[in-house]
Each structure stands twice: as C-alpha cells, then as structure tokens.
A and B are shown apart, each in its own frame.
Chain A
C-alpha cells in the first residue's frame, strides 16, 4: 500500500469518525447508533423487563415489592405512602423514560437541547406562556411550606432518578439513540410542569379569536349571536328535571357591516405566540354513572372515558398502589405525576371530563414604547414591566437564542404586530391540584371525595364519583374567574384595573348534582349548567351537546343497566346530531322533489333515507351525511368566509337551531343572484354532498363508502415517526358520536374504564397503546386491537401479592440504600 493510498485512507477514516461523533444532517452520531454492544442495538436486549429484578432506591424506608401482572400493570406493595410513591416513580420511569423527558422538555421549552434549533419556535411558545416559570414559582412556594405534597414530589423524584442512575445500555430508550442524546435527571418540580402542561392542553382556548374574526366580517352584533355565551341547545351536566334537551333560539340578527377594528384584533389574536390547539381538535371526553335506581343489580356503576391526544406511548400509565391501612388505589396516572388521576379504591370510583370553561383572558396593554417597552399603563400611571430572561441552548449546551419576556401584574405579555397583550390564566396561578389527587385516592364515600376536591383549582374538570353505598355525584370543580364585565369572551382594556378579575366562584356555586331523581349523571364537555339555573359566566361558545344527548338517551332508556351496557355505550355508533339533521334533509328533498324531478337529488335522498344513522364500521351511508352536512355549513356560513372559503364557523348547535327559521337571511348564498331559503340550501347541500362523496370515495355501493375506509384513529409516536406509530385504524363512531375520533383521528378515547361498585369493586379498562414505552416491546401496542374493537380488559384489583400468583409476569424488589 503506497503512501498516497494510506493518506486517502486516513482522510476517509477522519470523515467517518467525524460523522460517527457528530452526525450529519438528520443522522445522529453514527458510532453510538451502530454500536452493537452499548449503542442502539443494545436496546433490543432491554425491550422487555426481566422476570425478576432488584434495585436500590435512595430514601426508601422499607422494602417495596412490585408485581407486574399479565397485562404488565405494576402492583406496588409498600409500607408507607412515600415508599409507594418512590416505587411509582421508579416503575413509570422504567417503562416510560423518554416520555417523561420529552413531556417535561415540551413544557419547559427545552426541546432544542434534544432536537436542536428546529425546535426553537415550539420552545419559544412554551416559554412565552410561562408554564415552567409558573411551576418553578409554585415549587419555591411549596418548599417554603414543606408539606406532604413536597414530600410526595421528592419521593417520586427519588424513584425516577433511581431508575435513571441505574440505567444500563440496554435500558436506554431507542429514541435517544435515534437523536443521539441521553435523558436528563428528574427534578421534583417537573411533576408540576406536567400539571401545567395538562392545563395548557385542556384550557388554552382562544375563544376571543373566532368571535373577533366573525365580527370583522359581519359586525359585533351578529358575531355575539353566532358565538353565544349560552349554547342554544341545553342538555347540561347539572340535571334540569327535563327528559330531553331544550332549545332557546330567538333568531339571529342579520349580517352587519364588516368591522375593520375587529379584523385587526382577530389578526393580533391569531399572531399571539404560544401553541394554539387547532379548532377541530375537540377532545370529546365523556363520563357517566348510574345509581341503584337504574342498574340491574342495584349497585352504582361508573364509566370514565377521557378523550385526549392519542400518542404512543399512551398519555396514561396503569398502576395499583397498596399501603396497608392507608391506601389501596388502582387506576391511571400520567407519567410524571405522583399518584393516580382516574381510578378507584375499595369504596369509591371517579373520573373526569374537561369543563371547557373560559379561564383565560387577554388584556390589551398600553406601553411606554411600542418597540421596546419597559412600563405599562395602569389607572393613569406607568408601572414597570417585570422582565424574565429565557435562554435556549442546543444539544451541546451552547446558547442559541435569548428572549426577554415581560410581565404585567396579570401575567406574561405577548406581542402581536403593533399590539401588546397580557395574559391572565388560572393555570399559571393554581397550586391545589396534586393535593386534591392525593386526597381523593383515600376517600371512602362520595361526600369524602367531594370534600377532597374542594381544593382543586385548574384545569377545571367535571369530576364524577360513585361509591359502594350507591351514591353518585358530579361537580364541575376548578377556579372560575369573576369578570367585572360579567363575561370573558372578549379582549379587555389593560390600562385600567377595573378590567381585572374580581375573585373566583365559591365552591358552593360550582355546577353540582348528587343522587338526582333521574338516577344517573353524565358529562360530555357540554355547558355544565343551564343558564336559567345560573346565568353566571363560565365560558362561551360551548361544544355542542350531541354526545351528552346520546349518552342521556341511552341511560334514560333502561332501568336495568349493567356494566356490559356501559362498556358498549363507550363505542355506541348512534348520533344525536344525525338524528337532528337527517329529517330536515329528507323533508327538504321531498318538498323540492314534489315540485320538480331531480335525478341527483332523488338519488341522494334515497341513499340518505337508507341510512340507519349509525356510524358502524360497515355502514356505507354515513359518508353521504357527513359530506352533505359539511356543504350545508359552508353554504350557510358563507357570509363569514373570505375569498378562499376560510373563516370562522359557528358550532353545529347554532346550525341546528337555525333550521327552525326557514327564511332567515343567513340562508342566502352570496355567490348566487337568488335569495335562497333553508330548503334550497339543504337540497343543494345534499346534491353537492353526493357529488363530493362520489368524487372522494367512489361509487355509492363501492367499498370506498364503508365507514371503515373513511374514519380512522391515528396514534402517533411522540416524535411523529410513522414506523413507531399505529395509523389508519378503522374505528366505530363518527363526528359527535360518543367516541368520535376527532382531530383527524389523532384524538380519542385515551382511557376507557367501567367500574361496578358492588360488595366488591370490579373494574374493566383499556387504553390505546401498551404499558411499555419501548417500541421494541410486545407491550408497546398490545392493547390497540382490543381498543379498536371497543373491548375492555378485566383489571386485577388484588388485595395481596398472593392473589396475583397465577397472573404474575414479573417481579421487582426495591430496597433501601444502605
């Protein structure tokens, strides 16, 4: 080999080593990736947890035994609650290390430290909102108090870090190999980050933006009517004594003149930094319970069905904690939180849906300098803005950007164009959630559970509870601000303290019901209380109550309900929305066809008439209804659309009640010279719906019209990597059914649970995913096929280790450090 060849070899080697250490483009450092002993390949060796293992956990008081059952659920048997919490941190980290880290970073705005500058905008959004900043502030306050929750957070942190510290090469999650990084240590306050993150997911709704956008096109009068504070169809959570939904609709004012100031406001609100959930991502959670009056064997039954973003691994982790004479609780926790969030103990079962309350307000601030403000105006004088410096780093720790975020006394300030808005948000101020979760796990009756929830603050939740005595109750718990204007669906003048919140609703005023005469309770994110019972402002532009109407219809239909019925209700294919709209389409078509033949309309009417209004997987008519209804909304609300057809669109309840007014000016389609009526729009939509359905899905009797080929759940891996995801899963249910798979299938039933509170508590549950966060594990997605089919699994609520003998998959012993 000559010198030239050897020099070339040296250069080539240098290049390979450089890529091996630094990576190139999307490639992580190649050396560790390909390492067969300590690198990516080692992850195969750690795909499954071993059958027997032991570990040392600092600060543990006594030995903790963990039994993993055949569903990979850890049953933690500990001597103290803090030890159980340490063990929970350990077992969650053992299965979900990457998820813990990624969630924390997403909230903290430190994704750039994993993914580099590509993640900078997402990080800026998180930090602008101040989620981590407020969690850190809360942690400082908590450590001053040094109460039981501080001990609990520290114990959980001990457990997580014990796992991280002992992690060998096979235990490093595959994702870290793919991005060339390692997990960060866990801090106790990271649990608080996750509470804030849930607050963002469940309450960061910009109700003001859509209304301002509507006002820009049709004026404020029409906008207020189109996006009302009270939903025109009332089927509230707090029972009204009526057996069906009530409608309140006095017609809509005609479209007014465009309002350019509203347009500027809408634009400013749209530009506000911070992640804004897409408008079509309705989370669609449900819960319901029946007391002995309604059930076949005179016991209480409870169903939990929280709908959230579907991810792999799942947002939930199932666990059972046993501490003799102190705690025996089973359910799901969110990785990172030191307790069970939804579940049951030996006496009580509980679950939540999101209240969808408006707990966030924007204030337009007057600054001393439009470009570089240092003061904001309040009550005639300038007050200093408080700066917060945020530093963004890359994977190597080098600073890649720095922001100065300003605060008024209300909260963080955001710039949108030439306007400055401050944000006040209950999520940034609350501190009682974890304490409430800690206490409800120990409740023995509905009353005790409700008492424990009085400290709950944010995000507001409809907490449903049932006990073994047969009692059921629901309360929409959380902080609801009292605004001076009586409503919060507008942007306030920040230059006066008269705009500030005047306090919070007292717990005694929260929407509430216990053991109602109807024998059941349910919630599905609808307006919690009929404004005729309490007109206080809780929110605006509420989700339509279709799911609530369907659930209540099912619950009213029987006095011998069983747990099996509850399980079937969770994937019920019926739709109150279809029941409402279809008769209008059919009648309108009949009226038009009586006057003149129309082949296309006749065919569309025939096909829609054949539909049983069920969204089963084999149904081949739902697709026509959805296409027709889409057209109907577009044609009806054309006054709100711009030249490209984009614009705010009122909810389907407004469209539904509009049907009562057959000659409203809103039916007129601006693009035609004629003055259309309701029936004109309905029939035109039906025709267009058939044409669209044929164009998108083929001929009406083909497989393309089968609902299984239209509606899918899409469960993405946390990094949106398709090979690690479960996509295009055909599911039963459609828009506004109990299980709608909304948001293009990326949202759905995140945990389905049914609990029978008889002499013994019996429960069933599942979630779309699996206990393991390792894509290589058999337990990564083992529950998905059952979830798709609407099946629940029996949950093993064992009283002792011995009871798990026949179903033990693995054992773990945690011992104190010497």
Chain B
C-alpha cells in the first residue's frame, strides 16, 4: 500500500513538474528518482510507469478543455499517422525518458554506495 501511495505521489510530482517546467520534467524527475531509490526497488520501471500515468492524466485533462482528438487526428495526418498513435507516442516518450533517466542515474547511486 505504501509503495502504491509512493507511486501515486511520484506520478503527481511528474504531472506538477511537467505543468511548471514542461517535458524536461520527465527525464529530470526520472533521474532524481533513480538517484534516490535503490536498484532492487526497480526505480526505472516505477519512474516510467509514473511518468506515463501522469502524462496520460494531463492528456485527459486537456481533453476536457479543448478538441484534443481533432488535434491528434490533424497532427497525426501531417505525419501520416493515425491520431491514436500520437497519444501512444506521447505516453511512451514520457515513460522512456523517465525510465531511462532513472536507470542511468542508478549508476551514480551505486558508485557512491561502493
């Protein structure tokens, strides 16, 4: 339960920092999470999942404020992609940058520990 709560907190932090700082929040907060959490607790996976969830929620929030599907379809068509792929790419991008950043900075944590 505590882990789940921590996950939600992390996800909220991703969302909040993205609103304030933009897309850099995903790799930056992922990196911080990788430094803070030991490898045995799979920080990369958790960071990836939390970032993905937070960006999904941000997209959902945007959907309540404007024609997000029209945007996805229009921009998707510009790149010859179905609109739904654009959502997927966005969420995967958040997961990848957060997860990879957490995995990479984990090295630093381990070096410090040794």
Chain A residues with Cβ below 8 Å from B39 are: 1
> Which one of A13-21, A132-140, A601-609, A758-766 is at the B interface?
A13-21
> Are B22 and A776 in contact (CB-based, < 8 A)?
no
Chain B residue, CB-CB nearest to A29:
B23
Q: In whole angstroms, how far apart are the Cα atoms of A721 and B97 in the complex?
A: 30
> Which one of A30-38, A70-78, A611-619 is at the B interface?
A30-38
> Are A34 and B90 in contact (CB-based, < 8 A)?
yes
Chain A residue, CB-CB nearest to B80:
A723
A416 close to chain B: CB less than 8 A: no
> Are A37 and B58 in contact (CB-based, < 8 A)?
yes
B75 close to chain A: CB less than 8 A: yes
> Are B100 and A10 in contact (CB-based, < 8 A)?
yes
Q: In whole angstroms, how far apart are the Cα atoms of A170 and B23 in the complex?
A: 15
Chain A residue, CB-CB nearest to B15:
A37
> Are A17 and B71 in contact (CB-based, < 8 A)?
no
B77 close to chain A: CB less than 8 A: yes
Chain B residues with Cβ below 8 Å from A723 are: 73-74, 77-78
A178 close to chain B: CB less than 8 A: yes
A148 close to chain B: CB less than 8 A: no
Q: In whole angstroms, how far apart are the Cα atoms of A5 and B27 in the complex?
A: 18
Chain A residue, CB-CB nearest to B99:
A9
Nearest-Cβ distance from residue A573 to partner chain B, whole angstroms: 34
Nearest-Cβ distance from residue B87 to partner chain A, whole angstroms: 9
B24 close to chain A: CB less than 8 A: yes
Chain B residue, CB-CB nearest to A40:
B75
Residue from B65, B70, B93 within 8 A of A34 (CB atoms): B93
B89 close to chain A: CB less than 8 A: yes
Q: Which residues of B in the span 64-82 have a Cβ within 8 Å of any Cβ on A?
A: 65-68, 70-71, 73-75, 77-78
A145 close to chain B: CB less than 8 A: no
Nearest-Cβ distance from residue A21 to partner chain B, whole angstroms: 10
Residue from A10, A32, A37, A721 within 8 A of B78 (CB atoms): A721
A174 close to chain B: CB less than 8 A: yes
> Are B71 and A43 in contact (CB-based, < 8 A)?
yes
> Are B97 and A16 in contact (CB-based, < 8 A)?
yes
Q: Which of A6, A35, A37, A39 has the most CB of B within 10 A?
A: A37
Nearest-Cβ distance from residue A174 to partner chain B, whole angstroms: 7
> Are A174 and B66 in contact (CB-based, < 8 A)?
no
B49 close to chain A: CB less than 8 A: no
Please report the number of residue pairs spanning A and B whose Cβ atoms sit closer than 8 angstroms: 114
A176 close to chain B: CB less than 8 A: no
Provide the B31-49 mask, 1 if CB < 8 A to any CB of A, else 0: 0000000010000100000
Chain B residues with Cβ below 8 Å from A16 are: 93, 96-97, 100
B13 close to chain A: CB less than 8 A: no
Known A9-B44, A36-B90, A38-B22; contact A44-B100, beta-carbon cutoff 8 A: no
Q: Which residues of B in the span 87-114 have a Cβ within 8 Å of any Cβ on A?
A: 89-90, 93-94, 96-97, 100-101, 103-104, 106-107
> Are A42 and B93 in contact (CB-based, < 8 A)?
no
> Are A35 and B18 in contact (CB-based, < 8 A)?
yes
Q: Which residues of A in the span 443-469 have a Cβ within 8 Å of any Cβ on B?
A: none
> Are A36 and B106 in contact (CB-based, < 8 A)?
no
Chain A residues with Cβ below 8 Å from B6 are: none
Q: In whole angstroms, how far apart are the Cα atoms of A773 and B57 in the complex?
A: 28
B19 close to chain A: CB less than 8 A: yes
Known A44-B62, A174-B71, A776-B74; contact A32-B93, beta-carbon cutoff 8 A: no
Nearest-Cβ distance from residue A656 to partner chain B, whole angstroms: 45
Chain B residue, CB-CB nearest to A41:
B62
Residue from A1, A722, A775, A776 within 8 A of B44 (CB atoms): A1
Q: In whole angstroms, how far apart are the Cα atoms of A174 and B97 in the complex?
A: 24
Nearest-Cβ distance from residue B104 to partner chain A, whole angstroms: 4
A-B contact pairs, 23 of them (CB 8 A): A1-B44, A9-B44, A9-B100, A9-B104, A13-B96, A13-B101, A16-B97, A16-B100, A20-B97, A30-B93, A32-B22, A34-B94, A36-B62, A37-B58, A38-B23, A39-B22, A42-B62, A44-B67, A45-B65, A178-B75, A775-B74, A776-B70, A776-B74
Extra contacts besides A13-B97, A32-B23 (15): CB < 8 Å: A1-B44, A6-B103, A13-B27, A13-B96, A16-B100, A20-B97, A31-B24, A39-B22, A41-B58, A41-B71, A42-B62, A170-B66, A178-B75, A721-B78, A723-B73
> Which 4 pairs of residues, A with B, have the shortest CB-CB distance?
A723-B77, A44-B66, A13-B100, A36-B58
Residues of B within 8 A of A (CB): 18-19, 22-24, 27, 39, 44, 55, 58-59, 62-63, 65-68, 70-71, 73-75, 77-78, 89-90, 93-94, 96-97, 100-101, 103-104, 106-107
